[in-house]
Amino acid sequence: MHEELIFGPPGCGKTHTLIDLVKDELSKGTPPDRIGFVSFSKKSIEEAKERISEQTKLSLKDVPWFKTLHSTGYHWLGLGESNMLTRADFTNLGNELGIIFDGNTAKSNSDGVLLQSFNKGNQYLELIGRANMREVSLDQEYNDNGDYQLSYSFLNKVDKVYKAYKKEYEKYDFTDMIQYFVKQGSAPLLDVLIVDEAQDLTKLQWSMVNVLKQSASRIYYAGDDDQAIHVWNGVDVKNFMRSCENIRILDQSYRVPRSVHEIANRLVNRIEVRQAKSWKPTEREGSVDYHMNWYDVDIDKGSWTIMARTNNIVNKIEVNLRDNGYLYERFGKISLENEFIQFMNMWEELKKDKSLPLETIKQFYSYVPKQGKNQVVKRGSAKTLEYLDPQSSLCYDELVANHGLVAPKSMRGEDVVNMSEDDQRYKAAILRRGEDLENPRIKLSTIHQMKGGEDDNIILMSESCHPAVNAKNQDDEHRVFYTGVTRAKHNLHIIDSFGRYRYVI
């Protein structure tokens, strides 16, 4: 059996290396369905699937085991949508326990702080989930990470009721999928197993990897211990560092310029528990500048990402960006609703007497107002479209005559999509800046959300938060900001903090 641990510092071509391994296996005749490519990260898997699809003739169906660990468990166990816990299930649990589960942990999960939600119901579930991920008792998890305001006896009650509910209704959460996979002990027959972003695996996820690799003769673990920024979720980076004695270090970055590399080295040398490694920057010099306020940076041209330690900090920046008429992207969504622009463009086409495909017209009808002062189509008129040839196209006059369109051509696109006055002012401000409404140049993100990403220009806020700054082990915080600075391809702008909690870069 061949095992190899691949360390991939920032921008050093880790994904490229792993895809080359896959292509090499395929060239040797390894069946694609005997190659496993797994990660805890959906972003990692999506990128791998996209690259293998582009660089080979394989379809995604040909590589069924390019999956997240959760998805691997889901499919191998034969689970369906009806088996997954929903918001309604958590409402039922809350009613039974007399506590609220708000179902909104995703927003704060990206912050990477110890307790991801201020909602007490969620905090109890997080302790239960993390105990399972760490493979420790609930007692130990409570002693290690529990908030003193949380009741230990009530924690045990939540755990008991939660388990009973899932058993009665045959429901699973994400952790269950991995636990049951490990317990049942069987796995897909694989010749090759690649584990990406392995530095962020919990102990339970490593147990799953051990089951997955039982038939594989070639196993590759890939990641970077210096970028292990999910410790709050029960990750122990030493498990990654000890996973294999046969190591390879990728040592040439194709992203990080020399000036940023110098800052990165300064931060990474603060980390006490790490694999010693050196890597070279690109030939570009790049730049690093310090500012007192992020809005002192000229962001009117080029591609930018503004990053902060927590979503609360990002929220404040978002308000300022919007107030100043900047178009931006956050959580993968454009700040001015995509649908506004999409359906306003459709309306402009109809006003020019152009015919649009039936499916496009159906989408338009489903979105626009059916009543009120901005009524565009008569209520129920979409039903008249159901009897038409699916391949047909329709123009403005046909829609008025036969399909309930009542909006005159003089009606503004903003009114057709029922855009609020605030959004109209925002749109006008964006256009005054000369921005493309469909292609924002600016991204807003926490450092955790930006993991694996890059941009030409990075603005990094040095403000942090109480749990991070006051943590006993500061290695975690050093890794977070090391990850942050190494997103920059050309220019890094570091913003000093006026807040009580900050990280010194």
pLDDT per position in the chain (505 positions), as tens?
A: 999 999 999 999 999 999 999 999 999 999 999 999 999 989 999 999 999 999 998 999 999 999 999 999 999 999 999 999 998 999 999 999 999 887 544 333 333 333 344 567 888 998 999 999 999 999 999 998 887 788 999 999 999 999 999 999 999 999 999 999 999 999 999 999 999 999 999 999 999 999 999 999 999 999 999 999 988 788 999 999 999 999 999 999 999 999 999 999 999 999 999 999 999 999 999 999 999 999 999 999 999 999 999 999 999 999 999 999 999 999 989 999 888 999 999 999 999 999 999 999 999 999 999 999 999 999 999 999 999 999 999 999 999 999 999 999 999 999 999 999 999 999 999 999 999 998 999 999 999 999 889 999 999 999 998 888 888 889 999 999 999 999 999 999 999 987 789 999 9
Instruction: Determine phi and psi for 56, rounding to 5 degrees.
Output: -135, 180
For residue 469, the model assigns a pLDDT of: 86
Within 313-472, strands assigned E span: 328-330, 333-334, 356-357, 393-394, 442-446, 455-461
pLDDT of residue 147: 77
Residue 470 CB-density burial (10 A; 0-12 exposed, 13-18 middle, 19+ buried): exposed
Task: Give dist(CA 43, CA 273) in Å, integer.
Answer: 26
b/e sequence 397-416, b meaning 16+ C-beta within 10 Å:
eebbeebbbebeeeeebbbb
Instruction: Identify the residue whose tokens are 């690259």.
Output: 51
- Beta-strand (E) ranges in 362-424? 393-394
Residue 119's pLDDT is 66
| Predicted pLDDT of residue 496 | 93
- Is the sign of the CA dihedral 226, 231, 233, 236 positive or negative? positive
**pTM to 2 decimals?**
0.86
CB 343 within 8 A of CB 368: yes
Tally helices (H) and strands (E) across the chain: 20, 15
Whether CATH 3.40.50.300 fits 258-335+440-495:
yes
Q: Produce one character per residue of 348-380: b if its CB has 16 or more CB atoms within 10 Å, e if not.
A: ebbbeeebbebebbebbbebbbbeeebbbbeee
Structure tokens belonging to residue 279: 């890597």
- pLDDT for 498 equals 77
Q: What is the residue extent of each domain of the chain?
A: 2-77+179-249, 85-171, 258-335+440-495, 338-417
CATH topology of domain 2-77+179-249: Rossmann fold (3.40.50)
What sign does the dihedral 163-165-168-171 (CA atoms) show? negative
How distant is the alpha carbon of residue 278 from its chain centre? 29
Residue 345: what residue type? Answer: N
The CA distances from residue 335 to 70, 296, 318, 441, 491, in Å, are 31, 22, 9, 12, 24
Is-same-fold flag (2-77+179-249; 258-335+440-495)? Answer: yes
Residues 6+ apart with CB under 8 A from 110: 311, 446, 448, 449
pLDDT (0 to 100) of residue 352: 96
Q: How many CA atoms lie within 13 A of 226 on its CB side?
A: 25
User: What pLDDT, on a 0 to 100 scale, did the predictor assign at position 112?
Assistant: 38
